[in-house]
């Protein structure tokens, strides 16, 4: 029985840690998008590698011109396993 209680606490702690990490990541992304308006975290590099065709269409306006970076939404999925 004490092991089950410990596991429940561990899962609760993992969930809370994940929620805190997501909140920090979202706050950081919001700050660089709204204040700096520059892709200092490398999302464009990820887009270029994973979505080459789409990247070629937007690369010149990513963090200048239309500044798609400052308008981009980035969901964070964390698996605390």
On whether the pTM is more than 0.75, the answer is no
CA atoms 48, 51, 53, 57: torsion sign:
negative
Give Cα separations from 28 to 14, 34, 73 (angstroms).
21, 10, 13
Q: What is the pLDDT of residues 14-66, one digit of tens each?
A: 888 888 888 898 899 889 999 999 899 888 998 899 999 999 999 999 988 89
């Amino acid at each position: 029985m004490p092991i089950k209680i410990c596991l429940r606490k561990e899962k609760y702690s993992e969930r809370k840690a994940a929620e805190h990490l997501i909140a920090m990541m979202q706050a950081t992304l919001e700050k660089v998008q709204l204040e700096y308006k520059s892709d200092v975290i490398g999302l464009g590099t990820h887009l270029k590698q994973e979505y080459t065709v789409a990247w070629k269409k937007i690369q010149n306006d990513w963090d200048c011109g239309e500044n798609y970076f400052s308008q981009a939404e980035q969901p964070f999925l964390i698996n605390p396993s």
